[in-house]
Every structure is written in C-alpha cells, then in structure tokens.
Structure 1
Amino acid sequence: MTRPDTVRFLRTEPTMAFPEGRLLAMREAQLHVLAPDGWTRLAGTRPTGATTLTRQDAEDWCEREGWDLHLLDQVPTLA
C-alpha cells in the first residue's frame, strides 16, 4: 500500500487585486496556483512572502473566497 501524495498549501501576500492573497499548492516539488479554471502550474519557486497553511486553513480560505472545497483534493500530479 502506498501513502497518498502530500500536498502543502500556501497563501501569497495580499494585493489590491487579491486582498486575501492567492491559494497555492505544492505537490511533488511542483507549485500550482488556484485559478478560475482550476489549478495552474507555475514556473519557478515559491513566491517570497508566501505563508504555509494547514489543510484546515486552506479550507477556510476556500470558504471565505467562495471556492469549492473539492478543489483541494484535485492538485495535479507529475504523472
């Protein structure tokens, strides 16, 4: 039996366009941002100032921002 892939969630610093910041997810060393059409892969490294979130914090962020909680389970894998 294999363990499920670990997903780490982060939040970017607030901006005028995104007062609550953007939700990021890291899986298999690949960074993704939650966008209107789902998770979008980002090139590069973790943004400066991004803070680590627990799964519960990510769920709370989704609820505040009106995102479906099931998206947290749909972070793409490299395979």
Structure 2
Amino acid sequence: MTSVDEVRYLRTEPSMAFPHGRLLALRGETLHVLAPDGWDRVARTAAGARSITREEAEDWCEREGWNPDLLDAVPY
C-alpha cells in the first residue's frame, strides 16, 4: 500500500498538441495534470498513460521548459 503523501508520475501518449505527452501526477486517489496554471485535478482516468519515475518526470519538465520544482507542488 502506498502512502497518501507519495506521488506517482505518469505520462500520456504523444499527440499532435502534446508531442511529448502530458505529465500526470497521482497522489492517493487524486489525479492531476500539469497545465499552464499549475496542477489541475482531473477525473481518475489515466487510460493509455504509462507510469514514469521521478527522474523521468524531471527530464520531461526540463525538455518542456517547466520548472522541475513543480513536481514537489502536487496538491492533495
């Protein structure tokens, strides 16, 4: 069982609008997507998304021009 404070990161499949996919974060039962205004809560459906490590999420942030510190700001 995972801790409520633990965050799992996922990445969606690439699309025309998001060539490197979108970054998702799952904390407990709450799923968030990284959006221009920060983390937005979304329905708990991550169909097609694959689990990635924290390091892969940091790489994604750097490649996309996001501050990797956002990974520490996933809401509850």
Root-mean-square deviation over aligned CA pairs: 1.3
Provide, for residues 15-63 of structure 1, a one-character-per-residue CA deviation record: whole Å limited to 9, x for no partner: 00000000000001100000000000002322x2101000000000000
Over 3 Å off, 4+ runs: none
Structure 1, gaps ≥5 residues long = none
Matched, 1:76 2:75: yes
Radius of gyration: which is bigger?
Answer: 1
The corresponding residue for 1:13 is: 13
Q: How many residues align?
A: 74
TM-score w.r.t. structure 1 length? 0.88
SS of 1:26's equivalent? strand
Gaps of 5+ in 2: none
> Could you tell me the TM-score, scaled by structure 2's length?
0.92
1:61 aligns to what SS in structure 2?
Answer: helix
Quick one: distance in 2 between partners of 1:44 and 1:9? 13
Question: Which residue of structure 1 aligns with residue 48 of structure 2?
Answer: 49
The percentage of counterpart residues that share the same residue type is 66
Q: Do residues 66 (structure 1) and 45 (structure 2) align?
A: no
